[in-house]
């Protein structure tokens, strides 16, 4: 079966760095997405990785290792507004998105 695993909840301090991990097993691979979702709102796109390596975009970076079925999202210089759920999703061979359950990130002052 297809499976995406990520931690349920993480806590970090304002100004610090946090890494959210995601492991996956899917039928085919057409890319891995990270989304941010605030409560009651639709997800917003953060990053897309289809090749191995690190993609940096401002305070956010995303890493992918296809051989290990592993990705992480790295958030630097944490701000209170970064408190949200972070969803990892993999696009399978049928171009369907397989979603993780999301990681709730709590930022403390």
Partner 1 sequence: GAVVSQHPSRVICKSGTSVKIECRSLDFQATTMFWYRQFPKQSLMLMATSNEGSKATYEQGVEKDKFLINHASLTLSTLTVTSAHPEDSSFYICSAITGTGVTEAFFGQGTRLTVV
| By the rule CB under 8 A, 7 interacts with partner 1 | no
Whichever of 67 and 95 has its CB closer to partner 1, that residue is: 95
Burial 48-83 (b: 16+ CB within 10 A, else e): ebeeeeeeeeeebbbbbeeeebebbbebeebeeebb
- Cα 30 to chain centroid distance, Å, stands at 16
Residues 6+ apart with CB under 8 A from 42: none
Of 80, 81, 95, 109, the one binding partner 1 by CB under 8 A: 95
| By the rule CB under 8 A, 1 interacts with partner 1 | no
Of 63, 78, 100, 105, the one binding partner 1 by CB under 8 A: 100
Whichever of 53 and 109 has its CB closer to partner 1, that residue is: 53
Whichever of 46 and 74 has its CB closer to partner 1, that residue is: 46
| By the rule CB under 8 A, 102 interacts with partner 1 | yes
| By the rule CB under 8 A, 90 interacts with partner 1 | no
Binding site for partner 1 (CB under 8 A): 30-31, 33, 40-45, 48, 50, 87, 89, 91, 95-97, 99-102
């Amino acid at each position: 079966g297809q499976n995406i695993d990520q931690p349920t909840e993480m806590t970090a301090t304002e100004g610090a760095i946090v890494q959210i991990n995601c492991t996956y097993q899917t039928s085919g691979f057409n890319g891995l997405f990270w989304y941010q979702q605030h409560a009651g709102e639709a997800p917003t796109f953060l990053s897309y990785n289809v090749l191995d390596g690190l993609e940096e975009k401002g305070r956010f970076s995303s890493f992918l290792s296809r051989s290990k079925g592993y990705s992480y999202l790295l958030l630097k210089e944490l701000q209170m507004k970064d408190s949200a759920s972070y969803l990892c999703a993999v696009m399978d061979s049928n171009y369907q998105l397989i979603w993780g359950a999301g990681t709730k990130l709590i930022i403390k002052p």
